[in-house]
Amino acid sequence: MRVLIVYYSRSGKVKEMAEKAAVSRGADIVEIKDTVKRGGPVGFIKSGYQAARKKSIPIARIDTDIAAYERVVVCSPVWAGTMASPIRAFLEKFKYQINEAEYMLMHASRKNNYDEVFDEMDRILGKTAVRRTSLYR
Ligand SMILES: Cc1cc2nc3c(=O)[nH]c(=O)nc-3n(C[C@H](O)[C@H](O)[C@H](O)COP(=O)(O)O)c2cc1C
């Protein structure tokens, strides 16, 4: 099965998870890049605010043909109890090109699995993901 791993990572943890998943599954991998500076405390606050407001901000162009893959594994950090803004933008932009979806979330909370975030991702895509993985680190 042709699998594409798509991820956004601000501080490298999701990147590491996504890269491991790509190697173990023999999948291709694409990083989502956005246009907002998210470093430092100001970037942290801005990111939390944008996520909480469910803002969809522009992401850098993706040249990969998303529709050519049977499954797309979408990997996001949790920001302010929801998906990272660049991931929201990706799902909105490519929902019609994603054949089968799978999600991987990474967060700092041991207690919360963030099931409601997966539900929201499904709502944006208009389909039910085949697999949901929630990891804390
Ligand atoms: C702006 C912001 C908001 C966050 N909000 C949450 C949160 O609500 N719950 C949580 O468990 N972790 C939260 N985190 C922690 C990240 O989800 C966690 O550190 C993640 O592994 C970071 O991935 P990255 O290194 O790929 O950017 C937040 C991190 C940032 C930067």
User: In CATH, what number is assigned to the domain containing residue 99?
Assistant: 3.40.50.360
* Residue-number span of the structural domain to which 83 is assigned: 3-136
Q: Based on the structure, what is the number of domains in the chain?
A: 1
pLDDT of residue 79: 98
Nearest CA, atom 2, ligand 1: 79
Query: How much of the chain exceeds pLDDT 90, in percent?
Result: 95
Q: Cβ(14) to ligand 1 under 6 A?
A: yes
Is the model's pTM score more than 0.75?
yes
- Secondary structure (3-state) at 121: helix
Q: What was the pLDDT predicted at 35?
A: 86
Question: How far is the C-alpha of 38 from the C-alpha of 15, rounded, in Å?
Answer: 15
Q: How far is the CA of 78 from the centre of ligand 1 (A)?
A: 5
* Largest distance between two CA atoms of the chain: 41
Cα-to-centroid distance, 75 and ligand 1 (Å): 13
pLDDT tens digits for 19-65? 999 999 999 999 999 888 999 999 999 999 999 999 988 999 999 99
DSSP three-state, residue 59: strand
For ligand 1, what atom is nearest to the CA of residue 107?
Answer: 17
Phi and psi torsions of 58, nearest 5°: -60, 140
DSSP letter, residue 130: S
